[in-house]
Amino acid sequence: MVYQLKILRGTGNVRFWQTFDSPCTCADSVARALEELNERTVLRDSAGQEAEPIAWECACLEKKCGACAMVIGGTPRLACATRLCEAADKGGCITLEPLKKFRRIRDLQVDRGEMFTALQEMELWLENDAELVEEERRALHYRAASCLMCGLCLEVCPNFSPGRTFAGAAAAAAAYRAFEPSAAGAHRETLRTQYRKRFFNDCAKSLACQDICPAQVPVEQLLVKTNAAAIWRRREKKHGAR
């Protein structure tokens, strides 16, 4: 089968579709097909028109950095972890669009700065050394740390929209680690306030984030435990139960 990449291109409000024939095969990734287009001395679309190289982001090419997140065949995915035959329609066409919840820079490249700023503002750091003695806690920390900061969870989240305070599943994964009880200190009150404001108050628990996550971050398990540490214990204290 001859595959075609149909790419939503442009900057700002300028948007247009451009289609390219690809010599790549079923087992090749979408990332490889994009690389092949940009390696050509002169890039031409399927109609023979000369075209600019495609703007998109990648770094590791092995599902480790999250940079290649985009909408592939209508589903938010990582380009380096999606094979052409998984994403193509019956005619071999694969549509590629930038993530829609972030500001578009050009073509498939977006600015995910809003997600990183939210994480910074939540002050998700430990003020003391953590002692992870329990095997279960250690394993969960490891899984929380596997978040790629790709932003795919925000793309599908019904509660996240640009410019609002809700920080989404990436923040919940980082918050679980910051609420490690063995590292508690005075900073915990700031963490609690931030967690409530930037996650707990607006999360409707659709868990679309967990279904889409390419790193299989166990979002539900993490937020249940973080809610217990950040919200309920505080409430118990307030009501004199602890």
Which stretches of the chain bind ligand FES, using CB under 6 A?
A: 58-61, 63-68, 78, 80
Rg, C-alpha atoms of the chain: 21
Residue 99 makes contact with ligand SF4 by CB under 6 A: no
* Closer residue to ligand SF4, CB minimum distance, 66 or 98: 66
Listed in sequence order, the residues at least 6 apart from 3 whose beta carbon sits closer than 8 Å to its beta carbon are 21, 22, 24, 33, 84, 88, 92, 93, 94
Q: Which of residues 79, 84, 87, 150 is near ligand SF4 by CB under 6 A?
A: 150
Distance of CA 62 to the CA centre of its chain: 15
Structure tokens at 109: 């490249």
Q: Which does 64 bind (CB under 5 to 8 A by kind): ligand SF4, ligand FES, none?
A: ligand FES
Helix (H) or strand (E) segment spanning residue 8: strand 3-9
CB 156 within 8 A of CB 213: no
How far is the C-alpha of 153 from the C-alpha of 133, rounded, in Å? Answer: 30
Residues 151-190 that bind ligand SF4 (CB under 6 A): 151-153, 169-170, 173
Residues 58-87 that bind ligand SF4 (CB under 6 A): 66
> Between 18 and 57, how does the x/- string for binding to ligand SF4 read (CB under 6 A)?
----------------------------------------
CB of 79 to ligand FES, least distance (A): 6
Residue 217 makes contact with ligand SF4 by CB under 6 A: yes
CB of 85 to ligand SF4, least distance (A): 23
User: In whole angstroms, how far apart are CA 167 and each of 51, 113, 115?
Assistant: 37, 12, 7
Q: Which does 26 bind (CB under 5 to 8 A by kind): ligand SF4, ligand FES, none?
A: none
CA torsion through residues 122, 123, 125, 128, sign: negative
Q: Which does 178 bind (CB under 5 to 8 A by kind): ligand FES, ligand SF4, none?
A: none
- Which DSSP letter does residue 228 get? I
Structure tokens at 153: 């969870």
Rounded to 5°, the CA angle 157-145-103 comes to: 40
Residue 215 makes contact with ligand SF4 by CB under 6 A: yes
* Closer residue to ligand FES, CB minimum distance, 80 or 87: 80
